[in-house]
Structure 1
Protein backbone atom coordinates (compact mmCIF):
# COMPACT_ATOMS: atom_id res chain seq x y z
CA UNK A 1 0.00 0.00 0.00
CA UNK A 2 1.48 3.37 -1.01
CA UNK A 3 2.07 6.09 1.54
CA UNK A 4 -0.59 8.77 1.90
CA UNK A 5 0.42 12.43 1.45
CA UNK A 6 0.15 13.16 5.17
CA UNK A 7 2.39 10.18 6.00
CA UNK A 8 5.01 11.43 3.55
CA UNK A 9 4.80 14.95 5.01
CA UNK A 10 5.13 13.70 8.57
CA UNK A 11 8.02 11.34 7.81
CA UNK A 12 10.00 14.00 5.92
CA UNK A 13 9.32 16.58 8.63
CA UNK A 14 10.25 14.33 11.53
CA UNK A 15 13.51 13.28 9.89
CA UNK A 16 14.32 16.94 9.26
CA UNK A 17 13.46 17.85 12.85
CA UNK A 18 15.82 15.26 14.31
CA UNK A 19 18.62 16.50 12.07
CA UNK A 20 17.86 20.12 13.00
CA UNK A 21 18.12 19.43 16.73
CA UNK A 22 21.48 17.67 16.36
CA UNK A 23 22.98 20.30 14.04
CA UNK A 24 21.68 23.25 16.07
CA UNK A 25 23.19 21.90 19.29
CA UNK A 26 26.46 21.12 17.49
CA UNK A 27 26.80 24.56 15.89
CA UNK A 28 25.81 26.60 18.94
CA UNK A 29 28.08 24.58 21.23
CA UNK A 30 31.07 24.69 18.89
CA UNK A 31 30.38 28.34 18.07
CA UNK A 32 30.55 29.26 21.76
CA UNK A 33 33.69 27.17 22.28
CA UNK A 34 35.53 28.64 19.29
CA UNK A 35 34.19 32.19 19.52
CA UNK A 36 32.42 32.08 16.15
CA UNK A 37 29.44 34.45 16.18
CA UNK A 38 28.52 33.36 12.66
CA UNK A 39 28.36 29.70 13.68
CA UNK A 40 26.19 30.52 16.71
CA UNK A 41 23.88 32.51 14.41
CA UNK A 42 23.76 29.57 12.03
CA UNK A 43 22.83 27.30 14.93
CA UNK A 44 19.96 29.60 15.91
CA UNK A 45 18.81 29.39 12.27
CA UNK A 46 18.75 25.60 12.57
CA UNK A 47 16.68 25.81 15.76
CA UNK A 48 14.17 28.05 13.95
CA UNK A 49 13.57 25.13 11.59
CA UNK A 50 11.99 23.24 14.48
CA UNK A 51 9.23 25.82 14.74
CA UNK A 52 8.46 25.54 11.02
CA UNK A 53 8.55 21.75 11.30
CA UNK A 54 5.92 21.97 14.04
CA UNK A 55 3.79 24.28 11.89
CA UNK A 56 3.88 21.77 9.03
CA UNK A 57 3.05 18.82 11.28
CA UNK A 58 0.01 20.68 12.64
CA UNK A 59 -1.05 22.42 9.42
CA UNK A 60 -0.85 19.31 7.26
CA UNK A 61 -3.65 17.71 9.28
CA UNK A 62 -5.92 20.48 8.02
CA UNK A 63 -4.83 21.17 4.43
CA UNK A 64 -4.88 17.47 3.49
CA UNK A 65 -8.48 17.12 4.68
CA UNK A 66 -11.09 16.75 1.90
CA UNK A 67 -13.62 19.45 1.06
CA UNK A 68 -16.64 19.62 3.35
CA UNK A 69 -19.73 21.76 3.89
CA UNK A 70 -17.79 24.43 5.73
CA UNK A 71 -14.94 24.46 3.17
CA UNK A 72 -16.49 23.50 -0.19
CA UNK A 73 -13.28 24.44 -2.06
CA UNK A 74 -11.12 22.32 0.24
CA UNK A 75 -8.67 23.32 2.97
CA UNK A 76 -5.73 24.33 0.78
CA UNK A 77 -5.45 27.81 2.28
CA UNK A 78 -4.24 26.24 5.53
CA UNK A 79 -1.12 25.33 3.58
CA UNK A 80 -0.87 28.94 2.39
CA UNK A 81 -1.06 30.18 5.98
CA UNK A 82 1.62 27.67 6.99
CA UNK A 83 3.90 28.99 4.24
CA UNK A 84 3.35 32.56 5.43
CA UNK A 85 4.21 31.53 8.98
CA UNK A 86 7.40 29.84 7.78
CA UNK A 87 8.39 32.87 5.71
CA UNK A 88 7.70 35.41 8.48
CA UNK A 89 9.58 33.35 11.06
CA UNK A 90 12.53 32.92 8.72
CA UNK A 91 12.62 36.68 8.07
CA UNK A 92 12.47 37.42 11.80
CA UNK A 93 15.40 35.08 12.46
CA UNK A 94 17.37 36.71 9.65
CA UNK A 95 16.73 40.22 10.99
CA UNK A 96 17.81 39.17 14.49
CA UNK A 97 21.03 37.58 13.26
CA UNK A 98 21.82 40.57 11.06
CA UNK A 99 21.20 43.04 13.90
CA UNK A 100 23.56 41.18 16.24
CA UNK A 101 26.27 40.94 13.59
CA UNK A 102 25.97 44.60 12.56
CA UNK A 103 26.04 45.72 16.22
CA UNK A 104 29.24 43.75 16.82
CA UNK A 105 31.10 45.38 13.91
CA UNK A 106 33.53 47.93 15.37
CA UNK A 107 32.21 47.50 18.90
CA UNK A 108 33.33 43.99 19.83
CA UNK A 109 36.88 42.73 19.87
CA UNK A 110 37.43 40.70 16.69
CA UNK A 111 37.84 36.97 17.16
CA UNK A 112 39.49 34.25 15.12
CA UNK A 113 37.33 31.11 15.38
CA UNK A 114 39.09 27.80 15.82
CA UNK A 115 39.16 25.12 13.14
CA UNK A 116 36.53 23.11 15.00
CA UNK A 117 34.04 25.71 13.76
CA UNK A 118 34.97 24.83 10.18
CA UNK A 119 34.28 21.14 10.68
CA UNK A 120 30.93 21.88 12.34
CA UNK A 121 29.94 24.16 9.46
CA UNK A 122 31.04 21.57 6.91
CA UNK A 123 28.97 18.87 8.62
CA UNK A 124 25.95 21.18 8.47
CA UNK A 125 26.46 21.88 4.77
CA UNK A 126 26.61 18.19 3.86
CA UNK A 127 23.71 17.05 6.05
CA UNK A 128 21.37 19.92 5.18
CA UNK A 129 22.04 19.74 1.44
CA UNK A 130 21.27 16.01 1.55
CA UNK A 131 18.07 16.77 3.48
CA UNK A 132 17.12 19.43 0.91
CA UNK A 133 17.49 17.06 -2.03
CA UNK A 134 15.56 14.25 -0.32
CA UNK A 135 12.76 16.54 0.90
CA UNK A 136 12.31 18.04 -2.59
CA UNK A 137 11.76 14.54 -3.95
CA UNK A 138 9.12 13.90 -1.28
CA UNK A 139 7.45 17.26 -2.00
CA UNK A 140 7.24 16.47 -5.71
CA UNK A 141 5.70 13.07 -4.99
CA UNK A 142 2.67 14.70 -3.36
CA UNK A 143 2.90 18.17 -4.93
CA UNK A 144 3.22 19.92 -1.54
CA UNK A 145 4.28 23.58 -1.63
CA UNK A 146 4.79 23.67 2.15
CA UNK A 147 7.05 20.64 2.10
CA UNK A 148 8.94 22.25 -0.78
CA UNK A 149 9.24 25.45 1.29
CA UNK A 150 10.62 23.41 4.16
CA UNK A 151 13.09 21.81 1.77
CA UNK A 152 14.34 25.30 0.87
CA UNK A 153 14.59 25.98 4.59
CA UNK A 154 17.06 23.07 4.70
CA UNK A 155 19.00 24.49 1.76
CA UNK A 156 19.10 27.98 3.28
CA UNK A 157 20.65 26.36 6.35
CA UNK A 158 23.24 24.64 4.15
CA UNK A 159 23.99 27.87 2.28
CA UNK A 160 24.21 29.87 5.50
CA UNK A 161 26.87 27.48 6.79
CA UNK A 162 29.00 28.05 3.68
CA UNK A 163 30.22 31.59 4.48
CA UNK A 164 30.85 30.45 8.06
CA UNK A 165 33.19 27.71 6.84
CA UNK A 166 34.91 30.08 4.41
CA UNK A 167 35.35 32.74 7.11
CA UNK A 168 37.01 30.26 9.45
CA UNK A 169 39.45 29.08 6.78
CA UNK A 170 40.33 32.61 5.63
CA UNK A 171 40.71 33.81 9.23
CA UNK A 172 43.00 30.88 9.93
CA UNK A 173 45.14 31.65 6.88
CA UNK A 174 45.09 35.45 7.26
CA UNK A 175 44.56 36.32 10.96
CA UNK A 176 44.78 40.05 10.25
CA UNK A 177 41.33 40.16 8.58
CA UNK A 178 39.31 41.59 11.44
CA UNK A 179 35.56 41.11 11.80
CA UNK A 180 35.42 38.53 9.02
CA UNK A 181 33.23 36.35 11.24
CA UNK A 182 30.68 39.18 11.64
CA UNK A 183 30.72 39.79 7.89
CA UNK A 184 30.00 36.09 7.37
CA UNK A 185 27.05 36.41 9.78
CA UNK A 186 25.70 39.28 7.65
CA UNK A 187 26.02 37.12 4.53
CA UNK A 188 24.07 34.43 6.37
CA UNK A 189 21.39 37.05 7.04
CA UNK A 190 21.13 37.97 3.36
CA UNK A 191 20.70 34.30 2.40
CA UNK A 192 18.03 33.77 5.04
CA UNK A 193 16.10 36.88 3.94
CA UNK A 194 16.21 35.74 0.31
CA UNK A 195 14.79 32.33 1.31
CA UNK A 196 12.06 34.05 3.36
CA UNK A 197 11.05 36.21 0.38
CA UNK A 198 10.93 33.21 -1.97
CA UNK A 199 8.51 31.48 0.44
CA UNK A 200 6.39 34.52 1.33
CA UNK A 201 5.81 36.09 -2.07
CA UNK A 202 3.93 33.17 -3.72
CA UNK A 203 1.77 32.82 -0.60
CA UNK A 204 0.90 36.53 -0.66
CA UNK A 205 -0.02 36.30 -4.36
CA UNK A 206 -2.28 33.37 -3.54
CA UNK A 207 -4.11 35.25 -0.78
CA UNK A 208 -4.65 38.20 -3.15
CA UNK A 209 -6.26 35.85 -5.69
CA UNK A 210 -3.49 36.25 -8.26
CA UNK A 211 -3.48 34.06 -11.37
CA UNK A 212 -2.31 30.56 -10.45
CA UNK A 213 0.31 30.04 -13.18
CA UNK A 214 1.07 31.88 -16.39
CA UNK A 215 1.03 28.74 -18.55
CA UNK A 216 -2.36 27.42 -17.39
CA UNK A 217 -4.28 29.24 -20.13
CA UNK A 218 -1.96 28.04 -22.90
CA UNK A 219 -2.30 24.45 -21.68
CA UNK A 220 -6.10 24.64 -21.72
CA UNK A 221 -6.11 26.17 -25.21
CA UNK A 222 -3.77 23.43 -26.42
CA UNK A 223 -6.00 20.64 -25.10
CA UNK A 224 -9.13 22.39 -26.46
CA UNK A 225 -7.61 22.57 -29.96
CA UNK A 226 -7.37 18.76 -29.93
CA UNK A 227 -11.17 18.37 -29.55
CA UNK A 228 -13.02 19.14 -32.85
CA UNK A 229 -16.35 19.75 -31.10
CA UNK A 230 -14.86 22.56 -29.00
CA UNK A 231 -14.99 25.70 -31.12
CA UNK A 232 -13.47 28.12 -28.62
CA UNK A 233 -12.43 28.53 -24.99
CA UNK A 234 -12.20 31.92 -23.31
CA UNK A 235 -12.64 33.82 -20.01
CA UNK A 236 -10.18 31.41 -18.41
CA UNK A 237 -9.65 32.09 -14.71
CA UNK A 238 -7.39 30.21 -12.33
CA UNK A 239 -6.57 30.55 -8.67
CA UNK A 240 -4.34 28.64 -6.35
CA UNK A 241 -5.36 27.22 -3.01
CA UNK A 242 -2.36 25.67 -1.30
CA UNK A 243 -0.81 23.14 -3.67
CA UNK A 244 -3.92 22.90 -5.86
CA UNK A 245 -5.48 24.99 -8.64
CA UNK A 246 -9.14 25.77 -9.31
CA UNK A 247 -10.25 26.63 -12.86
CA UNK A 248 -13.29 28.10 -14.56
CA UNK A 249 -13.83 29.14 -18.18
CA UNK A 250 -16.35 29.45 -21.02
CA UNK A 251 -16.50 26.64 -23.60
CA UNK A 252 -18.17 27.32 -26.97
CA UNK A 253 -19.82 24.60 -29.07
CA UNK A 254 -22.01 24.46 -32.18
CA UNK A 255 -25.23 26.38 -31.38
CA UNK A 256 -27.29 23.58 -32.95
CA UNK A 257 -25.81 20.92 -30.66
CA UNK A 258 -28.13 19.27 -28.13
CA UNK A 259 -27.66 20.31 -24.50
CA UNK A 260 -26.97 16.71 -23.51
CA UNK A 261 -24.21 16.39 -26.12
CA UNK A 262 -22.66 19.71 -25.09
CA UNK A 263 -22.70 18.59 -21.47
CA UNK A 264 -21.00 15.31 -22.37
CA UNK A 265 -18.24 17.15 -24.25
CA UNK A 266 -17.64 19.51 -21.32
CA UNK A 267 -17.50 16.62 -18.83
CA UNK A 268 -15.05 14.68 -20.97
CA UNK A 269 -12.90 17.79 -21.40
CA UNK A 270 -13.00 18.42 -17.65
CA UNK A 271 -11.85 14.84 -16.96
CA UNK A 272 -9.04 15.27 -19.47
CA UNK A 273 -7.81 18.43 -17.75
CA UNK A 274 -7.93 16.80 -14.31
CA UNK A 275 -5.89 13.88 -15.62
CA UNK A 276 -3.31 15.94 -17.50
CA UNK A 277 -2.84 18.89 -15.14
CA UNK A 278 -1.66 17.45 -11.83
CA UNK A 279 -2.31 20.51 -9.67
CA UNK A 280 -5.85 21.11 -10.95
CA UNK A 281 -8.49 19.63 -8.61
CA UNK A 282 -11.70 21.28 -9.83
CA UNK A 283 -12.97 22.80 -13.08
CA UNK A 284 -16.17 24.78 -13.64
CA UNK A 285 -17.21 25.05 -17.30
CA UNK A 286 -19.81 27.48 -18.64
CA UNK A 287 -21.17 26.23 -21.99
CA UNK A 288 -22.01 28.84 -24.63
CA UNK A 289 -23.09 28.73 -28.30
CA UNK A 290 -20.44 29.48 -30.92
CA UNK A 291 -22.19 32.60 -32.23
CA UNK A 292 -20.92 36.06 -33.11
CA UNK A 293 -22.31 37.45 -29.86
CA UNK A 294 -20.29 35.00 -27.77
CA UNK A 295 -17.09 34.63 -29.77
CA UNK A 296 -14.04 36.42 -28.35
CA UNK A 297 -10.92 34.52 -29.41
CA UNK A 298 -12.24 34.18 -32.99
CA UNK A 299 -14.61 37.15 -33.46
CA UNK A 300 -16.92 37.45 -36.44
CA UNK A 301 -16.11 39.92 -39.23
CA UNK A 302 -18.58 41.98 -41.21
CA UNK A 303 -17.23 40.63 -44.46
CA UNK A 304 -17.21 37.03 -43.10
CA UNK A 305 -13.51 36.77 -43.92
CA UNK A 306 -12.63 35.52 -40.44
CA UNK A 307 -15.52 33.04 -39.95
Structure 2
Protein backbone atom coordinates (compact mmCIF):
# COMPACT_ATOMS: atom_id res chain seq x y z
CA UNK A 1 0.00 0.00 0.00
CA UNK A 2 1.38 3.41 -0.98
CA UNK A 3 2.16 6.06 1.65
CA UNK A 4 -0.69 8.32 0.50
CA UNK A 5 -3.23 5.48 0.59
CA UNK A 6 -2.04 4.50 4.06
CA UNK A 7 -2.57 8.12 5.13
CA UNK A 8 -6.25 8.00 4.09
CA UNK A 9 -6.74 4.78 6.09
CA UNK A 10 -5.19 6.36 9.19
CA UNK A 11 -7.37 9.45 8.72
CA UNK A 12 -10.50 7.27 8.50
CA UNK A 13 -9.64 5.42 11.71
CA UNK A 14 -8.98 8.64 13.63
CA UNK A 15 -12.22 10.17 12.31
CA UNK A 16 -14.19 7.09 13.42
CA UNK A 17 -12.79 7.33 16.95
CA UNK A 18 -13.65 11.04 17.12
CA UNK A 19 -17.19 10.42 15.84
CA UNK A 20 -17.99 8.01 18.64
CA UNK A 21 -16.79 10.14 21.52
CA UNK A 22 -18.05 13.47 20.12
CA UNK A 23 -21.48 12.16 19.14
CA UNK A 24 -22.19 10.65 22.55
CA UNK A 25 -21.07 13.72 24.48
CA UNK A 26 -22.62 16.12 21.96
CA UNK A 27 -26.07 14.55 22.29
CA UNK A 28 -25.87 14.35 26.08
CA UNK A 29 -24.58 17.90 26.56
CA UNK A 30 -26.72 19.61 23.94
CA UNK A 31 -23.75 21.71 22.83
CA UNK A 32 -24.13 22.96 19.27
CA UNK A 33 -20.37 23.25 18.93
CA UNK A 34 -19.63 19.70 20.13
CA UNK A 35 -22.48 18.16 18.11
CA UNK A 36 -21.43 20.06 15.01
CA UNK A 37 -17.90 18.83 15.52
CA UNK A 38 -19.22 15.25 15.73
CA UNK A 39 -21.15 15.65 12.50
CA UNK A 40 -18.05 17.10 10.87
CA UNK A 41 -16.13 13.99 11.96
CA UNK A 42 -18.78 11.78 10.33
CA UNK A 43 -18.21 13.69 7.12
CA UNK A 44 -14.46 13.22 7.65
CA UNK A 45 -14.91 9.44 7.46
CA UNK A 46 -16.83 9.70 4.18
CA UNK A 47 -14.26 12.11 2.76
CA UNK A 48 -11.27 9.98 3.78
CA UNK A 49 -12.88 6.89 2.23
CA UNK A 50 -13.52 8.83 -0.97
CA UNK A 51 -9.93 10.07 -0.92
CA UNK A 52 -8.70 6.47 -0.68
CA UNK A 53 -10.75 5.65 -3.76
CA UNK A 54 -9.52 8.76 -5.59
CA UNK A 55 -5.86 8.01 -4.88
CA UNK A 56 -6.31 4.37 -5.93
CA UNK A 57 -7.69 5.53 -9.26
CA UNK A 58 -5.14 8.31 -9.73
CA UNK A 59 -2.23 5.92 -9.17
CA UNK A 60 -3.30 3.65 -12.02
CA UNK A 61 -1.18 3.70 -15.15
CA UNK A 62 -2.50 5.41 -18.32
CA UNK A 63 -4.81 3.25 -20.41
CA UNK A 64 -5.97 3.20 -24.00
CA UNK A 65 -9.06 5.13 -22.94
CA UNK A 66 -7.30 7.50 -20.52
CA UNK A 67 -3.97 8.20 -22.21
CA UNK A 68 -2.84 10.69 -19.55
CA UNK A 69 -4.00 8.66 -16.57
CA UNK A 70 -6.59 9.67 -13.98
CA UNK A 71 -4.57 12.25 -12.07
CA UNK A 72 -7.34 14.84 -12.27
CA UNK A 73 -9.54 12.72 -10.05
CA UNK A 74 -7.47 14.20 -7.20
CA UNK A 75 -8.66 17.69 -8.17
CA UNK A 76 -12.22 16.40 -8.38
CA UNK A 77 -11.84 14.92 -4.88
CA UNK A 78 -10.61 18.29 -3.60
CA UNK A 79 -13.68 20.05 -5.04
CA UNK A 80 -16.04 17.47 -3.54
CA UNK A 81 -14.28 17.63 -0.17
CA UNK A 82 -14.40 21.43 -0.21
CA UNK A 83 -18.13 21.28 -0.92
CA UNK A 84 -18.68 18.87 1.98
CA UNK A 85 -16.70 21.14 4.30
CA UNK A 86 -18.84 24.08 3.17
CA UNK A 87 -22.06 22.20 3.96
CA UNK A 88 -20.64 21.29 7.36
CA UNK A 89 -19.79 24.96 7.98
CA UNK A 90 -23.29 26.10 7.04
CA UNK A 91 -24.83 23.57 9.43
CA UNK A 92 -22.56 24.70 12.27
CA UNK A 93 -23.53 28.32 11.54
CA UNK A 94 -27.23 27.36 11.70
CA UNK A 95 -26.86 25.48 15.00
CA UNK A 96 -24.95 28.39 16.53
CA UNK A 97 -27.70 30.85 15.65
CA UNK A 98 -30.41 28.52 17.00
CA UNK A 99 -28.58 28.04 20.30
CA UNK A 100 -28.26 31.81 20.78
CA UNK A 101 -31.94 32.42 19.99
CA UNK A 102 -33.20 29.56 22.19
CA UNK A 103 -30.75 30.29 25.06
CA UNK A 104 -29.63 26.64 24.98
CA UNK A 105 -28.09 25.41 28.25
CA UNK A 106 -25.01 23.17 27.99
CA UNK A 107 -24.86 20.05 30.21
CA UNK A 108 -22.00 17.65 31.04
CA UNK A 109 -19.44 20.41 30.70
CA UNK A 110 -16.65 18.41 32.34
CA UNK A 111 -17.09 15.45 29.99
CA UNK A 112 -17.36 17.75 26.99
CA UNK A 113 -14.11 19.51 27.87
CA UNK A 114 -12.31 16.17 28.28
CA UNK A 115 -13.59 14.96 24.90
CA UNK A 116 -12.43 18.11 23.11
CA UNK A 117 -8.95 17.90 24.67
CA UNK A 118 -8.67 14.31 23.42
CA UNK A 119 -9.93 15.40 20.00
CA UNK A 120 -7.32 18.17 19.76
CA UNK A 121 -4.50 15.75 20.61
CA UNK A 122 -5.63 13.13 18.06
CA UNK A 123 -6.37 15.67 15.33
CA UNK A 124 -3.09 17.51 15.88
CA UNK A 125 -1.11 14.29 15.51
CA UNK A 126 -3.05 13.45 12.35
CA UNK A 127 -2.39 16.88 10.78
CA UNK A 128 1.35 16.50 11.42
CA UNK A 129 1.28 13.04 9.81
CA UNK A 130 -0.72 14.19 6.76
CA UNK A 131 1.57 17.19 6.20
CA UNK A 132 4.54 14.82 6.33
CA UNK A 133 2.92 12.57 3.69
CA UNK A 134 2.09 15.58 1.50
CA UNK A 135 5.69 16.80 1.58
CA UNK A 136 6.84 13.32 0.57
CA UNK A 137 4.28 12.73 -2.18
CA UNK A 138 3.07 16.20 -3.27
CA UNK A 139 -0.39 14.62 -3.50
CA UNK A 140 -3.26 17.11 -3.75
CA UNK A 141 -5.76 14.76 -2.08
CA UNK A 142 -3.49 14.46 0.96
CA UNK A 143 -3.05 18.22 0.96
CA UNK A 144 -6.83 18.73 1.00
CA UNK A 145 -7.21 16.11 3.74
CA UNK A 146 -4.53 17.87 5.81
CA UNK A 147 -6.34 21.18 5.34
CA UNK A 148 -9.62 19.55 6.32
CA UNK A 149 -8.22 18.23 9.59
CA UNK A 150 -6.40 21.50 10.17
CA UNK A 151 -9.77 23.26 10.14
CA UNK A 152 -10.98 20.56 12.54
CA UNK A 153 -8.05 21.34 14.83
CA UNK A 154 -9.00 25.01 14.82
CA UNK A 155 -12.68 24.28 15.39
CA UNK A 156 -11.93 21.80 18.20
CA UNK A 157 -9.77 24.41 19.91
CA UNK A 158 -12.53 26.98 19.56
CA UNK A 159 -15.08 24.53 20.98
CA UNK A 160 -12.79 23.83 23.95
CA UNK A 161 -12.38 27.57 24.55
CA UNK A 162 -16.14 28.11 24.49
CA UNK A 163 -16.75 25.23 26.91
CA UNK A 164 -14.09 26.57 29.27
CA UNK A 165 -15.69 30.03 29.23
CA UNK A 166 -19.12 28.51 29.94
CA UNK A 167 -17.65 26.40 32.75
CA UNK A 168 -16.25 29.44 34.56
CA UNK A 169 -18.85 32.11 33.66
CA UNK A 170 -22.08 30.22 32.86
CA UNK A 171 -22.41 32.33 29.70
CA UNK A 172 -24.08 29.58 27.65
CA UNK A 173 -24.66 31.87 24.68
CA UNK A 174 -20.89 31.73 24.04
CA UNK A 175 -21.38 28.24 22.59
CA UNK A 176 -23.45 29.69 19.75
CA UNK A 177 -21.05 32.57 19.13
CA UNK A 178 -18.07 30.25 18.84
CA UNK A 179 -20.09 27.94 16.60
CA UNK A 180 -20.77 30.81 14.19
CA UNK A 181 -17.12 31.92 14.22
CA UNK A 182 -15.96 28.36 13.49
CA UNK A 183 -18.45 28.11 10.63
CA UNK A 184 -17.19 31.28 8.96
CA UNK A 185 -13.58 30.08 9.17
CA UNK A 186 -14.44 26.63 7.79
CA UNK A 187 -16.39 28.06 4.83
CA UNK A 188 -13.51 30.42 3.98
CA UNK A 189 -10.95 27.57 3.98
CA UNK A 190 -13.29 25.36 1.94
CA UNK A 191 -13.62 28.06 -0.72
CA UNK A 192 -9.84 28.10 -1.23
CA UNK A 193 -9.81 24.31 -1.56
CA UNK A 194 -12.63 24.32 -4.12
CA UNK A 195 -10.89 27.10 -6.04
CA UNK A 196 -7.58 25.18 -6.23
CA UNK A 197 -9.26 21.96 -7.36
CA UNK A 198 -11.38 23.77 -9.96
CA UNK A 199 -8.35 25.55 -11.42
CA UNK A 200 -6.59 22.20 -11.87
CA UNK A 201 -9.65 20.75 -13.58
CA UNK A 202 -9.61 23.76 -15.92
CA UNK A 203 -5.91 23.14 -16.74
CA UNK A 204 -4.56 26.27 -15.09
CA UNK A 205 -0.91 26.92 -15.94
CA UNK A 206 1.86 26.03 -13.48
CA UNK A 207 2.91 28.69 -10.97
CA UNK A 208 4.24 31.84 -12.61
CA UNK A 209 7.64 31.41 -10.96
CA UNK A 210 8.05 27.91 -12.42
CA UNK A 211 6.96 29.07 -15.88
CA UNK A 212 9.45 31.96 -15.78
CA UNK A 213 12.22 29.55 -14.79
CA UNK A 214 11.27 27.26 -17.66
CA UNK A 215 11.64 30.19 -20.06
CA UNK A 216 15.05 31.01 -18.61
CA UNK A 217 16.20 27.40 -19.00
CA UNK A 218 15.15 27.36 -22.67
CA UNK A 219 16.73 30.69 -23.56
CA UNK A 220 19.94 29.85 -21.68
CA UNK A 221 20.84 27.26 -24.32
CA UNK A 222 23.10 28.94 -26.92
CA UNK A 223 21.84 26.66 -29.72
CA UNK A 224 18.23 27.83 -29.20
CA UNK A 225 17.27 30.91 -31.23
CA UNK A 226 13.70 31.25 -29.96
CA UNK A 227 10.70 29.34 -28.60
CA UNK A 228 6.92 29.56 -28.76
CA UNK A 229 3.69 27.71 -27.91
CA UNK A 230 4.81 27.19 -24.31
CA UNK A 231 1.96 25.51 -22.44
CA UNK A 232 1.83 24.01 -18.97
CA UNK A 233 -0.66 22.39 -16.63
CA UNK A 234 -0.81 19.99 -13.69
CA UNK A 235 -2.77 16.76 -13.30
CA UNK A 236 -2.48 14.93 -9.99
CA UNK A 237 1.20 14.72 -9.13
CA UNK A 238 2.36 15.28 -12.73
CA UNK A 239 3.41 18.56 -14.35
CA UNK A 240 2.84 18.76 -18.11
CA UNK A 241 4.88 21.08 -20.32
CA UNK A 242 4.67 21.50 -24.11
CA UNK A 243 6.86 23.89 -26.08
CA UNK A 244 8.21 24.52 -29.58
CA UNK A 245 11.95 25.25 -29.52
CA UNK A 246 13.57 26.96 -32.53
CA UNK A 247 17.04 26.05 -33.81
CA UNK A 248 18.95 27.10 -36.90
CA UNK A 249 18.23 24.97 -40.01
CA UNK A 250 21.86 23.84 -40.12
CA UNK A 251 21.86 22.09 -36.72
CA UNK A 252 21.86 18.30 -36.86
CA UNK A 253 18.95 16.35 -35.42
CA UNK A 254 21.36 14.67 -33.00
CA UNK A 255 22.56 18.00 -31.60
CA UNK A 256 19.04 19.44 -31.39
CA UNK A 257 17.87 16.33 -29.57
CA UNK A 258 20.80 16.58 -27.16
CA UNK A 259 19.86 20.19 -26.31
CA UNK A 260 16.21 19.30 -25.80
CA UNK A 261 17.21 16.49 -23.41
CA UNK A 262 19.29 18.98 -21.45
CA UNK A 263 16.32 21.37 -21.29
CA UNK A 264 14.08 18.57 -20.00
CA UNK A 265 16.59 17.59 -17.31
CA UNK A 266 16.90 21.18 -16.09
CA UNK A 267 13.11 21.69 -16.02
CA UNK A 268 12.61 18.55 -13.93
CA UNK A 269 14.98 19.96 -11.30
CA UNK A 270 12.55 22.82 -10.70
CA UNK A 271 10.23 20.46 -8.81
CA UNK A 272 11.89 17.12 -8.02
CA UNK A 273 8.92 15.96 -5.91
CA UNK A 274 6.61 15.91 -8.94
CA UNK A 275 6.52 13.75 -12.02
CA UNK A 276 7.09 15.58 -15.31
CA UNK A 277 5.72 14.98 -18.79
CA UNK A 278 7.63 17.28 -21.14
CA UNK A 279 7.07 17.44 -24.88
CA UNK A 280 9.53 19.54 -26.91
CA UNK A 281 8.85 20.11 -30.60
CA UNK A 282 12.01 20.91 -32.60
CA UNK A 283 11.59 23.71 -35.17
CA UNK A 284 14.16 24.76 -37.83
CA UNK A 285 12.49 28.19 -37.93
CA UNK A 286 9.83 30.19 -36.08
CA UNK A 287 6.52 28.90 -37.41
CA UNK A 288 4.35 30.69 -34.87
CA UNK A 289 1.88 33.38 -35.95
CA UNK A 290 3.38 36.88 -35.87
CA UNK A 291 3.38 38.26 -32.35
CA UNK A 292 2.73 34.90 -30.70
CA UNK A 293 3.24 35.31 -26.95
CA UNK A 294 5.94 33.13 -25.46
TM-score by length of 1: 0.86
User: Does 2:2 align with 1:7?
Assistant: yes
CA contact (8 A) 2:4 2:55 kept: yes
Relative to 1, partners in 2 of residues 1:78 and 1:295: Cα closer, same or farther, differing over 3 Å? Answer: same
Higher relative contact order (CA 8 A, sep 6+): 2
Q: Which residue is equivalent to 2:47?
A: 52
Structure 1 segments of 4+ aligned residues over 4 angstroms from their partners: 290-299
Q: How does 1:84-163 map to 2 (within 5 A)?
A: 84-111=79-106, 114-163=109-158
User: Aligned partners of 1:116 and 1:21: how far apart in 2?
Assistant: 19
User: Aligned partners of 2:36 and 2:149: how far apart in 1?
Assistant: 15
Quick check: which has more Rg, 1 or 2? 1
Relative to 1, partners in 2 of residues 1:58 and 1:298: Cα closer, same or farther, differing over 3 Å? Answer: closer
SS in 1 for 2:143: helix
Shift of 1:110: 3.9
SS in 2 for 1:105: helix
Corresponding residue pairs, total: 293
User: Aligned partners of 1:293 and 1:101: how far apart in 2?
Assistant: 59
TM-score by length of 2: 0.90
Unaligned runs of 5+ in 1: 1-5, 300-307
Relative to 1, partners in 2 of residues 1:36 and 1:102: Cα closer, same or farther, differing over 3 Å? Answer: same
User: Aligned partners of 1:129 and 1:17: how far apart in 2?
Assistant: 15
- Alignment equivalent of 2:175, drawn from 170, 177, 181: 181
CA contact (8 A) 2:9 2:49 kept: no
Q: Which residue is equivalent to 2:281?
A: 286
- Measured against aligned partners, the alpha-carbon deviations of 1:159-207 in whole angstroms (never above 9, x if no partner) come to 11111111111112222x3411111111221222123112211111112
Shift of 1:22: 1.0
Unaligned runs of 5+ in 2: none
Q: Which residue is equivalent to 2:239?
A: 245
Q: Which residue is equivalent to 1:172?
A: 167
- Alignment equivalent of 2:57, drawn from 59, 62, 71: 62
User: Aligned partners of 1:151 and 1:259: how far apart in 2?
Assistant: 47
- Measured against aligned partners, the alpha-carbon deviations of 1:215-260 in whole angstroms (never above 9, x if no partner) come to 2211212323443323334432111212322111121223321233
Shift of 1:69: 1.5
- Measured against aligned partners, the alpha-carbon deviations of 1:27-47 in whole angstroms (never above 9, x if no partner) come to 221223333221111111111
